[in-house]
Amino acid sequence: MQTETIRTKPNLQKRFLSGLVDYGIVACVAFVLFHFYGTPNDEGGYSLNGIPGFSLIMIWAIYIIGAEHIFGVTFGNYTQNLKAISIRNSNERDLTFGQSFKRHLVDVVDLWPFGILGILFIRNTKYNQRLGDLWAKTIVVDTTDKEQGIFYETAEHINK
């Protein structure tokens, strides 16, 4: 009989730096879009409307969700040797598009306020998962740490 064992660590510093890289890139793109296409609003700021506003959402989706689904990691995760893997199906560890979408759709919750909710989830769940990871049935592991991941052990039981 084969049993599955999941081992993770919080990797808080690496996860923070990864998010900083990824959302720093998205923020830079947003800054450029607001600079060139933003229109003044009633609150003294700028708004993106129409195609520029939609393009920001699409750039976020392609960069964050698309990269994770196609390449297995975002650039931020790559820089920190982190990888999200599926725990939903023991035959397939790569994320589906739906899993990546679920993980990142709730980033706004996990990152609010200042990432405190995400940290609380990571610190207080069995496999160090954020809310998005719980919903998508994924874990995040450090690929350079051989103690993290999904391990299979065989147990031979002999009845006497």
The range of the structural domain enclosing residue 65 comes to: 2-154
From the centroid of its chain, how far is CA 49?
27
Residue range 93-119, pLDDT digits in tens:
899 999 999 999 999 999 888 899 999
Q: Does residue 160 form part of some domain? A: no
Q: What is the pLDDT of residue 160?
A: 43
Question: Could you tell me which of 86, 76, 79, 80 has the C-alpha nearest to residue 107?
Answer: 76
Please provide the DSSP assignment of 7-72 as one string: E----HHHHHHHHHHHHHHHHHHHHHHHHHH-EE-TTSSEE--HHHHHHHHHHHIIIIIIHHHHHS
Report the DSSP beta bridge partners of residue 7. Answer: 149
Q: Please tell me the total count of domains within the chain.
A: 1
Mean of the per-residue pLDDT values of the chain: 93
Instruction: Evaluate whether residue 139 is within a structural domain.
Output: yes
Phi and psi at 93, nearest 5°, equal -100, -15
Q: If you average pLDDT over residues 134-151, what whole number do you get?
A: 96
- Above 60 in pLDDT, residue 43? yes
> Which pLDDT does position 156 carry in this prediction?
63
Distance CA 159, CA 109 (A): 51
Q: Are 73 and 65 in contact (CB under 8 A)?
A: no
Q: With 70 as the cut, is the pLDDT of residue 45 above it? A: yes
Closest CA to 137 of 145, 148, 129: 129
On whether residue 49 sits in a domain, the answer given is yes
- Residue 112 within any structural domain of the chain: yes
